[in-house]
Chains A and B, each alone.
Chain A
Amino acid sequence: DTGVSQDPRHKITKRGQNVTFRCDPISEHNRLYWYRQTLGQGPEFLTYFQNEAQLEKSRLLSDRFSAERPKGSFSTLEIQRTEQGDSAMYLCASSPQLTGEPKHEAFFGQGTRLTVV
């Protein structure tokens, strides 16, 4: 399977704990996106990378959230001091678009469902 892979698929954590999710994009894809989605809502943009550079970050994103893409390949999303409101599906997507291209064709993973109890 050469699609976008996310790990884990499901995560249950206690409030206040830190969690980290991993995303392996399609090989050679330059862009990598992170989204959050709650039931009945569309995906909410969190951040995106062009290779290893984090180019944009949602102005609504709490500083408890941080993302990295150290070598321009896989990416991690960490949430510190989780809150119940962080419960959602976290989606990763990758695309082959180059810097400056305003196109948005992306390939999504299956997501990581986070439940904070």
Chain B
Amino acid sequence: LAKTTQPISMDSYEGQEVNITCSHNNIATNDYITWYQQFPSQGPRFIIQGYKTKVTNEVASLFIPADRKSSTLSLPRVSLSDTAVYYCLVGDRGMDSNYQLIWGAGTKLIIKP
């Protein structure tokens, strides 16, 4: 069963760039890597998704090396409102072909003034 591993927590300061790395050694060949953000008492919110190399949108960048066994979410110039839990998501098709979505434990990011 594919599994993701992320740091439990990180902290940084306003205006800094933050990089959160997720390892997913058993990612399926055709699966995407997706990152979500979650604030307390709210559902997760999609941030970014990629398959390989680099993807950038208006809020973040996602770096994926050639072996795809890890990915790094990069948040440029963070603000206090970026304090949240960030989840890395990959899928997995087990030996019985039962496909499941596997979420990491999440990284609690705290931004300080």
Docked complex: B47-72 residues within 8 A CB-CB of A = 49
In this assembly, does B81 line the interface, its C-beta being within 8 Å of a C-beta of chain A?
A: no
Name the residue among B34, B43, B96, B103 with the largest chain A CB count within 10 angstroms.
Answer: B43
Minimum distance in angstroms from B13 CB to a CB of chain A: 25
Docked complex: A68-117 residues within 8 A CB-CB of B = 91, 93, 102-111
- State the CA gap A111–B34 with chains docked (Å): 20
Is B46 a contact of A106 with CB atoms below 8 Å?
A: yes
Name the residue among B41, B46, B87, B100 with the largest chain A CB count within 10 angstroms.
Answer: B100
Residue of B nearest to A45 (CB): B101
Is A56 a contact of B45 with CB atoms below 8 Å?
A: no
Residue of B nearest to A100 (CB): B30
From known contacts A42-B87, A102-B30, A102-B91, infer whether A107 and B106 are also in contact, taking CB-CB under 8 Å: no
In this assembly, does B20 line the interface, its C-beta being within 8 Å of a C-beta of chain A?
A: no
From known contacts A33-B101, A44-B103, infer whether A105 and B46 are also in contact, taking CB-CB under 8 Å: yes
- State the CA gap A93–B45 with chains docked (Å): 10
Please indicate the chain B residues that have their CB under 8 angstroms from the CB of A4 in the complex. Answer: 43
* Chain A residues within 8 Å of chain B by Cβ, number: 25
Is A56 a contact of B98 with CB atoms below 8 Å?
A: yes
Q: Is the interface of A mostly helix, strand, loop or mixed?
A: loop
Residue of B nearest to A58 (CB): B100
- State the CA gap A93–B43 with chains docked (Å): 9
In this assembly, does B78 line the interface, its C-beta being within 8 Å of a C-beta of chain A?
A: no
Is A108 a contact of B45 with CB atoms below 8 Å?
A: yes
Please indicate the chain B residues that have their CB under 8 angstroms from the CB of A43 in the complex. Answer: 44, 87, 103
Of the residues A41, A103, A108, contact of B49 by C-beta under 8 Å: A103
Please indicate the chain A residues that have their CB under 8 angstroms from the CB of B32 in the complex. Answer: 102-104
Please indicate the chain B residues that have their CB under 8 angstroms from the CB of A108 in the complex. Answer: 43-45
From known contacts A42-B105, A102-B91, A104-B89, infer whether A56 and B49 are also in contact, taking CB-CB under 8 Å: no
Identify the A interface with B (CB < 8 A). Answer: 4, 33, 41-45, 48, 55-59, 91, 93, 102-111
Identify the B interface with A (CB < 8 A). Answer: 28, 30-32, 34, 41-46, 49, 87, 89, 91, 94, 96, 98-106
